[in-house]
Amino acid sequence: MNIEKSAAAFGRQYSVLAPYYEKLNSEADYDKYADFIEREIKLYGKENTEIVLELACGTGAITRRLSERGFDMIGIDISENMLSEAYRLEHVFNSETGYKAEQRRHKSSKILYLCQDMCCFELYGTVSAAVCCLDSLNYLTNHGDLEKCFRTLHNYLEPNGVFIFDVNTVYKHRVILADNAFCYDLDGLFCAWQNELNDDDSVSIYLDFFEEQEDGSYCRFSEDFTERIYTDEFLSELVKSNDFELIGKYDGFEDSPVNDKTQRVLYVCRRINRG
């Protein structure tokens, strides 16, 4: 199975998933994630960090919450469908949090969404910090693309700026996902999730959505993608070789050390200024 895909292919991907993405991740505590990221930026980042870049921002769940916490946000994603959802949900988010019309316009102006490849993006200037969450780096199935992502980010991240990212662990891919199947009932939307553990250190993921219609029938929509398995040793060396300093690793968005059963590792690193 060829798991390497072009940027155009990734851009077309998630056309089915985009409207259902946040419902599928309804148990994710995005406010907790944003609080954790904000804390790490303030602890280890540049003083008075203002502009924060989110790579592979998807539907903007974390982007919106970091904006609410006072950061000027730039969200990059290669999927036009995901960004369309991000724009739509930003309006809903502002309405639900009680902003007045003039305040919503001000908040919206703080988020700049760009449809670009996180491996080779272009910005008008530098950013003070960057994040890439919810195992987005696992979707870069080519080692060269992951390397390009780090090199490109290094060009735009200010010296001593922090980069916070997470990945699904080897344990999660080989034990939790593996060749297992899951089924979710999401209030009128059913999702059948099938995984396939491949011989090349990757997991293929197949999603089938069944959405209830007004007449009681169901429409089926399908999406598939692949995650690459990256070891801690590989990622630690990648951070170092691209002039980042590894500050810390966490068991997900918790103040807990990584262990053998950790499913998500969150890395906090800082751009080194080589002069």
Count of structural domains within the chain: 2
C-alpha R_g of the chain: 19
For residue 157, tell me if it sits in a domain: yes
Q: Which domain holds residue 135?
A: 7-169+230-271
CB 155 within 8 A of CB 256: no
For residue 2, tell me if it sits in a domain: no
My answer on whether 36 and 120 are in the same domain is: yes
CATH code of residue 208: 2.20.25.110
| Contact partners, residue 112, CB within 8 Å, separation at least 6 | 73, 74, 75
My answer on whether 13 and 138 are in the same domain is: yes
For residue 33, tell me if it sits in a domain: yes
Long-range contacts: 218-226, Cβ < 8 Å, 24+?
A: 218/190, 221/16, 222/16, 223/13, 223/14, 223/15, 223/16, 223/17, 225/13, 225/14, 225/139, 226/3, 226/139, 226/141, 226/198, 226/202
My answer on whether 209 and 134 are in the same domain is: no
CA 217 to chain centre: 33
CATH code of residue 55: 3.40.50.150
Predicted pLDDT of residue 15 = 74
My answer on whether 123 and 77 are in the same domain is: yes
For residue 42, tell me if it sits in a domain: yes
My answer on whether 145 and 86 are in the same domain is: yes
For residue 98, tell me if it sits in a domain: yes
Predicted pLDDT of residue 240 = 97
Predicted pLDDT of residue 94 = 63
Predicted pLDDT of residue 77 = 96
My answer on whether 211 and 238 are in the same domain is: no
Predicted pLDDT of residue 249 = 97
My answer on whether 67 and 155 are in the same domain is: yes
List, run by run, the mean pLDDT of 10-residue segments along the chain (275 residues).
38 72 87 97 92 96 94 96 92 59 44 96 97 97 96 96 98 97 90 96 96 89 95 97 96 96 98 79
| Contact partners, residue 197, CB within 8 Å, separation at least 6 | 173, 174, 177, 178, 179, 203
For residue 69, tell me if it sits in a domain: yes
My answer on whether 127 and 239 are in the same domain is: yes
My answer on whether 25 and 130 are in the same domain is: yes
For residue 154, tell me if it sits in a domain: yes
My answer on whether 67 and 129 are in the same domain is: yes
For residue 81, tell me if it sits in a domain: yes
My answer on whether 15 and 100 are in the same domain is: yes
My answer on whether 61 and 35 are in the same domain is: yes
